[in-house]
């Protein structure tokens, strides 16, 4: 039984899929636009989009003013879960780096 974090991490282990997430951070896009932006064929891109969809990282839905236009957008909840995890890793290194800074600058003054 995979946890949702496992699926998130597995989906993001691929550089193309990370590129998709980066693109969608800015605004929702059609599948065709995403494929073009990342210089990939549409069938290949649709496989990546399926992995991201199953991991719950993106969803495909209509635009408010045009329900027929299908666009991909980020699923914020899943992104937030991963960010929460990375934030803990960053908290650890942040504490270490502040100790390093203090040590490095103290020895310079003495």
Partner 1 sequence: MRPAGDVATVSVLVEVPPDEAFRVFTEEIDQWWRQGLRYRVGRGRSVIHLEPRAGGRLFESIGDGARVIETGRVTAWEPPARLAFEWRAVNFAPTEKTDVEVLFAPSPSGTLVTVRHGGWSRIRADHPARHGLEVAPFIGNLGMWWADLMTSLRLHAAGHSRA
Number of residues that bind partner 1 (CB under 8 A): 43
Cβ 24 to partner 1 shortest distance, Å: 9
**Residue tagged 């069938």 (tokens):** 43
Residues 28, 32, 36: CA angle, nearest 5 degrees = 100
The answer to whether 49 and 24 are in contact (CB under 8 A) is: no
Pairing assessment for the beta strands 58-63 and 66-74 based on DSSP bridges: antiparallel
Cβ 25 to partner 1 shortest distance, Å: 8
Among 50, 61, 62, 94, binds partner 1 (CB under 8 A): 94
The answer to whether 59 and 87 are in contact (CB under 8 A) is: no
Q: Residue 110, interface with partner 1 (CB under 8 A)?
A: no
Instruction: Show contacts with partner 1 in window 20-79 (CB under 8 A).
Output: 21-22, 25, 76
**Site residues for partner 1 per CB under 8 A:** 1-3, 5-6, 9-10, 12-13, 18-19, 21-22, 25, 76, 80-105, 107-108
């Amino acid at each position: 039984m995979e946890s949702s974090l496992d699926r998130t991490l597995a989906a993001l282990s691929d550089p193309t899929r990370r590129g998709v997430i980066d693109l969608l951070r800015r605004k929702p896009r059609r599948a065709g636009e995403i494929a073009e932006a990342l210089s990939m064929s549409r069938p290949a891109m649709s496989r990546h989009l399926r992995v991201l969809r199953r991991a719950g990282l993106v969803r495909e839905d209509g635009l408010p003013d045009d329900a027929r236009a299908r666009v991909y957008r980020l699923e914020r909840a899943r992104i937030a879960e991963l960010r929460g995890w990375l934030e803990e890793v960053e908290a650890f290194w942040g504490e270490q780096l502040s100790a390093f800074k203090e040590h490095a600058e103290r020895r310079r003054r003495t």
